[in-house]
Amino acid sequence: MTSMRSPVSHHLGEDPSSLHHFLHRPEHKDVASLAGIFRRPTYEAFLRHSQDVIDRHGLEDSMVCGRVGSVKPEGQHLLVQGEGVELRTRRLLIATGSNVPRVPAWARKLQKDGAPIRHLFGSNGGWERDLLGGGISAVQRALMVHRETKKPVRIWMRRPIQVADFDYDWTWGKHKFQARWSKKTEHEKLEFLDRYMSRGSVPEGLAARLRRSVRRGSIIVELGTPTVEWDAKSERLILRGERQPVESSGLALVTGLERESVSGWVKTTADQLGLPTAGGLPRLDEQMHWGRGVYVSGPLARLRLGPTSTNIVGGRWAAAKLPGVRMQPV
């Protein structure tokens, strides 16, 4: 990936124009170009600006590496404990993100039987030339595998490529949508999230590269979810689609990540502190407060913020609502 999918105003800085001004510095002239009508910065420019924000605010000095196991009340404080961490705090922000690969049940079963199937975001693997998925990651991976192996790559997708400039409807990040979202009932919000949160798509530029690769025969697109069979004795992986069966040396799942919900130590914390949930998500007030000094951002905040909670736009909205934080939404 050379350019970001999002425009130049989507970044980690407080001011929406921060990245734009950053790229006007002479030392960043080599990454200052912005792509297309949405003025998308390069991936390198985004990384440099992010590191600059981290350095200016001394965030690395405040970082504690560890794995949280529990959060318990201790007087007026919260006791956060786990592997390599023990902290006492009055306020805690949970921003865990989405990091669990979505693996279909049939794939988990075949994996247990020894089939060469892995999730792209999970364990490291080789250059599998069969990919299951239809979003931006699947297309980028297919192009990369062909570039590295010089062999045809097959993408199995359940529907034709969905072309969209962003990974969400851009109107969802606007003030008008946030105002409308706050007026929806809890049931309406959950229905909306179920309907719109699992749509993989690719921007037009990447879709054009895919179409050229298909015409050249370097990438083969198979529509429909294949039936996958694994013969452990002969170690043969067979993928059956609408056309003739295909024998594969390995299948890479590019099926995205599981939706974050209140589970694990977060659920234990909610139960201990009596924090309210709905549909597996925290009920938050206007300041992103869940209760008892616990605040939430990221995917777990989608009941309060809507679908944008999972990306940078949602992060900016969440930060702008937190008490004492100076952040401007895009």
* DSSP string of 185-246, one letter each residue: -HHHHHHHHHHHTT---B-HHHHHHHHHHHHHTSEEEEESPPEEEEETTTTEEEEE-SSS-E
Domain of 22, in residue numbers? 1-63
What does each C-alpha distance from 170 to 3, 10, 38, 198, 263 come to in angstroms? 18, 12, 11, 16, 30
Q: Are residues 53 and 10 in the same domain?
A: yes
CA torsion angle 90 79 320 325 (round to 10): 40
Rounded CA-CA distance 82/147 in Å is: 43
In this structure, are 12 and 119 located in the same domain?
no
Q: Are residues 241 and 205 in the same domain?
A: yes
Is residue 297's pLDDT more than 70?
yes
Within a domain: residue 327? no
Q: Is the domain of 154 the same as that of 31?
A: no
Are 215 and 266 members of one domain?
A: no
For residues 88 and 148, membership in a common domain is answered with no
Question: Do 150 and 217 lie in a common domain?
Answer: yes
- Residue 142 domain-assigned (yes or no): yes
| One domain, residues 55 and 32 | yes
Q: Supply the pLDDT for residue 97.
A: 82
Same domain, 135 and 216: yes
In a domain, 195, yes or no: no
* Total of domains in the chain: 3
Residues 13 and 112 in one domain: no
Number of Cβ within a 10 Å radius of residue 237: 20
Question: Do residues 31 and 115 share a domain?
Answer: no
Helix (H, G, I), strand (E, B) or coil at 98: coil
Q: Are 46 and 4 in contact (CB under 8 A)?
A: yes
Residue 328 lies in a domain: no
| Span 215-261, pLDDT tens digits | 999 999 999 889 999 998 888 999 999 888 999 999 999 998 888 89
Tell the residue number behind the tokens 């600059």, with chain if given. Answer: 52
At 7 the pLDDT is: 85
Which whole-number Å values give the CA distances from 119 to 123, 138, 258, in the listed order?
7, 11, 12
Percent of the chain with pLDDT over 90: 66
State the pTM of this model: 0.85
| Mean of per-residue pLDDT scores for the chain | 90
pLDDT tens readout for residues 266-291: 999 999 999 999 999 999 999 999 99
**Structure tokens given for 79:** 């006791």
- 137 located within any domain: yes
289 assigned to some structural domain: yes
Same domain, 26 and 137: no
Indicate whether 180 belongs to any domain: no
